A and B are shown apart, each in its own frame.
Chain A
Amino acid sequence: MTTATRIEHRASISKNRLPSESIRVLLIEDNPGYSEIIRIMLDKIQGTRFELVCAKRLSEGLHHLGQNGMDIILLDLKLPDSQGIKTFDMVYAQAKGLPIVILTVTDNDEFALEAVQRGAQDYLVKEQVDAKTLVHAIRYAIERKRVEETLRETNLFLQNILESSDAISILYTDCEGTILYWNTGAENIFGYTAEEIIGRHTADILYPQDDAETKQSIEEVKSFIVNNRQGTSCEVREVTKDGRTLWINLHLTPRFDDHGQVIGILGIGQDITERKRMEEMLLNAAQEWRATFDAISDVVCLVDSERRIIRCNKAMTNLLEKPFADIIGQSCCGFIHGTEKPIEGCPFERMRDNLSTEAIVVQRGDQWFRISVDPLLNEEGNLIGGVHIMTDITKEHEIDKMKTELISNVSHELRTPLSTIQEGIALVSEGSLGPLHADQRDMLTRVKNNIERLSRLINDLLDMSKIEAGRMALKKSSVNISTLVEEVLSSFRDQAENKKITLITHIHNDILPLYIDGDKINQVLTNLIANSLKFTAAQGRITIGVKDKGTGVEISVADTGIGIAPKHMPGLFDRFSQFNREYGPGGRGTGLGLAISKEIIDRHGGRIWAESEVGKGSTFTFCVPRMTEEEMFREYLNNGLREAQEKECPLSLVVIRIKNIEKLIKTYTNTQVFTILREIEGLIGRTLRRKTDIVSRYKYGELIIALLMDTAKKDAEFVKERIRQEIEAEMQIKGWPRDIELFLDIVTYPNDAVDEKDLINKVAMGLWMEEGAEGGKDG
C-alpha cells in the first residue's frame, strides 16, 4: 500500500469512529477509588458512550494495549511497578500512536511536562478534573493525535518522495542561497552528502568559469523569485564534488511564511547534461550541414514528391533573388516557371518516370545551366523526392561556343585553299596540263587521296560544329531510297574491288519515296560503308540491306570485318570515340563520323544502332520513319508559311486535281490512275524553275500541290497556265486516257488565308465548291 492511500485510510477510520461509536478508554491508575470517579464522570456524559478499561499496574496496562481496540490512554505515572517518566516511555512505546493523557497530582509535575514534550497529548491534574474537563480533554487528545498522525504521515510521504527521487536533486535554500535541504538525488548527482553541503552557498556548486553575464543572470533569477514571489526555471552549469561539469535544468519555487513573505527557494533540478550534449551535437551538425550546403556554388534544392521545394541553398536564394521563406514550400512549376504543370522536358519528371538522372542544359537570361535531378529515397527505397542541382556552365558554354565557332571558321578558311589544291592536282593528274609518266601519276593519286581525306575531315568538323551550334538544318525532299543507295554503292565499287571485298545488296523492290534530306542520308550511308571497308580484310563481304517496314525504311550495313570489342559498344556514337578497330589502309578518321550519323538520323526522327562480334564482323543499322503524304504536305506548308510570315512575302499554292478521279478508277485500275498522278507530279517538278518551289501531294495523293514561295496570286496564274499546258502536252505524248478532267486552282497567302488550317481548308473546300458549280453548268 502506498503512503498516500495509507494516510487517507487512517484518516477515514478516525473520522468515522469519533462521533458514532463508543470511545474505549484505557485507564492505567493504581488507585481504584480514582478509577471509580473517572467511570462515574464518563457515565454522566450525554451523547457519547465511553467504555472504560482499568489497569492497576503498568504490566496490566501494557497487556491491554497489546489487545488493541483502545482509543485513548489515561495514564498515572506513579504505579506500583513503574514510576516517573519511565512509565510514560513504556506506554508510549506500546501505544501504537494512541493519544495519551497524563493524570497527575500537582500542576507542576515535572514528569507530566516532560511526557507532554515527548509525545503525550495533554495532562490533567486529578483534583481539578470534572466530567466536562475530562471529556473535553479526551476528545481534544484524540482529535489532536489524529491531526498529528496525518501530519506525520504527510511528512513521511513527502520525505519519501524527496529521498526516493535519486535522479532528481531537490534542495532548499534561504533567500540568500544558503542550502538548508539536500536530498538523496542531489547527493547522487553532485556527490556531496547532505552533511557536507548543508549550510554552504549554492554559488559554491555553480560552474566557476561561467562568464560574468551568466553569473549575473543567475543572481537575477534569484531576485526575480523573491521579488515577484513566483517560480521560474532555468538551465545552469554546476560542478560536482569530483569536478565534473553538469548542465542542470532547475525549477525554482518560492516558499512563503504565514505572512506571505518569501522565506526560501525550493529548487528541483534535473541533470540534462546528456540532453544538452545531444542538442549541441545536433545544433553543430545542423549548422555544419547548412554551412556546407550554402557553401556549394551549385544551385541546389530538395523537392518533395508533390514538386514542392522543401530545402534550398544560398545559391538558389541568390539566383532567385528571394529569401528562403519565400521559396520553401512553393511548387517548383508555379514558382519557378509560372506554369501549372511541369514544363516540357522537366528533369524532375523524367527522374520520377524512369529514375533517369541525365542532365539537361537550359538557358536562363545570360546564364547557362546544366540541371540534373538525383532521386531522394526513404529507408524503404521509395521515392520521396529529388535533389535538383543546377550547375552554372555559362563559362564552359561560352568556351564551347567559341570552340565551335573557331572550328567552323577555320574549316571554312581551309576550304578555299583545299579546293584549289584538289582541283589543281586533279587537273594535272588527269593529264589536262600535259602527259604524265606512271610514277608521276601514281604520286599524284596518293596526294589526291590524302587531300580527299583532309577534305572529309574538314567536312566532318564543319558538320559537328553545325550540330553543336544547333545549326544543322535538314533540306528534306521526296527521295527514292533505292536510287540513293545505288548511288552511294557505285561510289564505292572501285574501292571495294581494289580491296577484294564483295559488295552485296538486298534491296526491297518498289520502295515508296521517303521525305528526307537525301544528301544527309547519303552521308550516313557513305560513312557506314566507308567504315566497313576500312575494317574489313580482303575476301570479306559487305552486305547492304534495305527493307521497307511500312512506317519507315531500315537500312543496314553488315561486314565480315574485325568487329568491335564489347567495352567500346556503349560510347560508339559519342563524339571523338574511335573504337579500337585496327586501322586499315583508310587510316584514322576524326572519330566524328558516327556521332554525325547519329545526329542526322535523330533529326529525321529515326534510330541508329550497332551489333558486333569481335572477329566476326559488325552490323550498323538505321531506320528512317516514313512520313505520310499528308505529313509531308503539312511540313512543306508550315515551313513555307513560316518563311512567308517572317519575310512578309506571299506564298501561292497551285492545286492540281483530277476531277473525275472516282470514275477513272472504275474505268481503269487504281494503279494506273495513281501512276498518272505520280507522273504529273514529276512533270510539275520539272516545270517549276526555282529550287525553292516544291511539289507535294495531299489527300492520299489525290491532290498535287505546287508551293510557290514569294509568289503573288497574279504571278502564280502564269505558273498555273504553264503547268496546264505541260500536262496537256504530256497527255498527248504519253497517250494518257482522253477522259481525264483536270482542275487547277490557286490559293494564296495572305490573300485567301493567313494560317495553316485556313490554307488547307481553302485547298480542299475551294475545289469542292468549284466542282459543284461546274457540275451545275454541265447539267
Chain B
Amino acid sequence: MDKKRILIIDDEPDFVRVVQLRLEAAGYEVLVAFDGMQGVSFAHKEKPDAIILDIMMPAMHGHRVCETLKKSSKTWTIPIIYLTAKGSKEDEDLAYKLGAEHFLTKPYDPQALLAVIKKALEPEA
C-alpha cells in the first residue's frame, strides 16, 4: 500500500520541519506549504490524504483555508486537522463549524497527533 500523504500548512519553517520528521518517522509522506494560498493550491494539485493546518498565517488565514477546501468539490473529503497556538474556544468552534475533523493546540503531544491522524485517515464506517 502506498504511503499516505499529509500536507502541512504552517508559516513556521522550523515547526514544519519537526512535524515533518515526526510524521515521516511514523511512515507518512509529507508535503509542506508555508502560507494559506500555497496550501490551498497544493491541496488541489496534490490531493493529500490529510491536512495539518495552522491558523495565523500570511497570505491566507487558516480558517479561510479550511472554508475554501471544504467548499470545493475536489478537496472537501480531505480531513483537516488544526494544529495551532491559537487555542481559544471560538477558534475551535469555528474550525468544527467549517468542517474540520480535529483541533489540536501547540505545544502538541506527538502521540495524540499521530492518533488523530490515524483516525482521520480511517475509511468511514
**Interface residues in chain A, defined as those with a beta carbon under 8 Å from any beta carbon in chain B:** 412-413, 415-420, 422-424, 426-427, 430, 432-433, 455, 471, 473, 475, 686, 690-692, 709-710
Q: Which B35-51 residues have C-beta < 8 A from chain A?
A: none
Residues A423 and B85 in contact, CB atoms below 8 Å apart? no
- For B103, the chain A residues whose CB sits under 8 A away are 691
B79-119 with Cβ < 8 A to chain A: 85-86, 88-89, 93, 96-97, 103, 105-108, 110
- A419 and B14 CA atoms in complex are apart in Å by 10
| Cβ-defined contact, A692 with B97, below 8 A | yes
- Whether A424 lies near B18 (C-beta < 8 A) is yes
Task: Report the minimal beta-carbon distance from B86 to chain A, rounded to whole angstroms.
Answer: 6
Q: Give complex CA distance A473, B19 in Å.
A: 29
Q: Tell me whether A415 and B85 are in contact (CB under 8 A).
A: yes
Known: A416-B85, A419-B18, A424-B18. 8 other contacts (CB 8 A): A412-B86, A413-B85, A419-B106, A420-B14, A423-B19, A423-B21, A423-B110, A473-B89
Neighbouring A residues of B108 by C-beta, 8 Å:
419, 423
Chain B interface main SS type: helix
> Are B93 and A692 in contact, with the CB atoms below 8 A?
yes
* Contact pattern, B 55-71, Cβ under 8 Å of A = 1, otherwise 0: 00000000000000000
Who on chain B is nearest to A693 by CB? B96
Instruction: Determine which of A417, A422, A427, A455 lies in contact with B25 in the assembled complex, contact meaning CB atoms within 8 Å.
Output: A427
Bound Cα distance A126, B108 (Å): 150
> Which residues does chain B contribute within 8 Å of A412, judged by CB atoms?
85-86
Ranked nearest first, the 7 interchain pairs of A and B with the lowest CB-CB distance are: A419-B107, A415-B85, A423-B18, A419-B106, A473-B89, A432-B25, A420-B15
Q: A432-B25, A690-B96, A692-B97 are in contact. Are A426 and B12 (CB under 8 A)?
A: no
Question: Which residues in B have their C-beta under 8 angstroms from that of A475?
Answer: 89
User: Measured between C-beta atoms, what is the minimum distance from A686 to chain B in Å?
Assistant: 8
A471 to B91, CA, bound (A): 13
Question: In the complex, are the beta carbons of A416 and B12 less than 8 A apart?
Answer: yes
Closest to A643 in B: B93
User: B88 touching A471 by the CB < 8 A rule?
Assistant: yes
Check A419 against B21 for contact (C-beta < 8 Å): no
Q: Is B5 part of the binding interface, using a Cβ–Cβ cutoff of 8 Å? A: no
Least CB distance from B92 to A in Å reads 8
Contact residues in B for A432 (Cβ distance below 8 Å): 21-22, 25
Instruction: Pick the residue among A427, A686, A691, A710 that contacts B22 (CB under 8 A).
Output: A427
Contact of B96 with A692 in the complex, beta carbons under 8 Å: yes
Most buried by B among A413, A427, A432, A473: A427
Q: Which residue of A lies closest to B12 (CB)?
A: A416
Residues on B with beta carbons closer than 8 Å to the beta carbon of A710: 97
Contacts of A420 in B (CB 8 A): 12, 14-15, 17-18
- Minimum Cβ distance to chain A for residue B62 (Å): 13
Among A413, A473, A691, which residue has its beta carbon within 8 angstroms of that of B96?
Answer: A691
Report A-chain residues with C-beta under 8 Å of the C-beta of B12: 416, 420
A and B contact pairs by CB, cutoff 8 A, 14 listed: A415-B105, A415-B107, A416-B15, A419-B15, A419-B106, A419-B107, A420-B14, A423-B15, A423-B18, A424-B14, A424-B18, A426-B110, A427-B21, A427-B25
Q: How far is the CA of A422 from the CA of B113 in the complex (A)?
A: 14
Kindly name the residue among B12, B19, B85, B125 whose own CB sees the greatest number of chain A CB atoms within 10 A: B85
Q: Most chain-B CB neighbours within 10 Å: which of A416, A426, A475, A686?
A: A416
Least CB distance from B113 to A in Å reads: 9
Report the bound CA distance from A709 to B89 in whole Å.
Answer: 16
CB distance from B48 to the nearest CB of A (A): 20
In the complex, what residues of A have CB within 8 A of residue B97's CB? 692, 709-710
